[in-house]
Amino acid sequence: MGAIMGAAAGIAADAAETGGVGIQGGSGSAPAGLPVEEVRRLMDACWKAKTVAELMPALPRGLKPRYIHVIDAVWHLNASAGQAVGTARVGDVSAFLGVTTPSVTKLVGEMARLGLVVKHDDAADRRVVTLTLTERGLDLHRTYVEEYHAHLSRLLGGLPAGECETTVRTLTEVLRLMQRDNADAAAQRMNGGERNHHE
C-alpha cells in the first residue's frame, strides 16, 4: 500500500506539471502507443490514489508524510541487524524509496533536528553516515506504519493479492517512464532544444 500511495502521488504531480503522458501524436504521424482513452483513465486513477494517500491519519503538528516514508525505509534497512545498529545509509534510503539522494539528505537533516533519526559517522570513512531511529521515530513507525497497515490489511482483505501486485507494478513503471520523460525534456531544454510532447 505504501508503494501504491507513493508512486501515485508522484505520478499525479508529474501529470499535473506535464499535462499527461506525451504519447498522443499529430494526425497520421503518431507512433503506436497506449490508447489515449486508457491514458485518461490511468491518470484519473492516479489522482484517486493520491486522494487515498491524503486519507492517511493526520500526523502530529510539524511532521510531513515524507518523514514516515523515510522512517519506514530506515526501519526496513536496519531490520536485519536490529534497530539499535545503524546500517542504513542515506544512499540506501534513496534507493529504497526511489527518490534522489539530495532529497533524502534534506529530509534526514530535518528529521534529525526534530529528533526522529540519529546520524552516525563511520569511524573508518567519515564520508559515510548511517542512520538509526530514535524512540520517537520508532513510535511513529508503530503508529503510522505497523498499526495503520494492519488496519488497512483488514479493510482491504477482499482485494485479490494478484490485483494489488499488478497495481504496484503498473504505477511504479508509469512513474519511472514519466520521470525519465521529464528528465529527457529538461536535458533538451538545457541543450537549447525545445522538446515537443507530441513527437
All structural domains of the chain: 2-8+36-178 (1.10.10.10)
Grid cell in block for residue 104: 533524502
Checking 98-107 for CB contacts under 8 A at 24+ apart, the result is 98/6, 98/172, 98/175, 104/70, 107/64, 107/66, 107/67, 107/70
Q: What is the pLDDT of residues 77-118, one digit of tens each?
A: 999 988 988 899 999 999 999 889 999 999 999 999 999 999
Residue 26: CB atoms within 10 A of its CB come to 9
Q: What's the predicted TM-score (pTM) here?
A: 0.73
pLDDT value of position 155: 96
Let me know: does 73 contact 96? Beta carbons within 8 Å.
yes
CA distance 39 to 78: 39
Of all helices (H) and strands (E), which one includes residue 176? helix 161-190
Residue 194 confidence (pLDDT): 61
Q: Mean pLDDT throughout 18-34?
A: 51
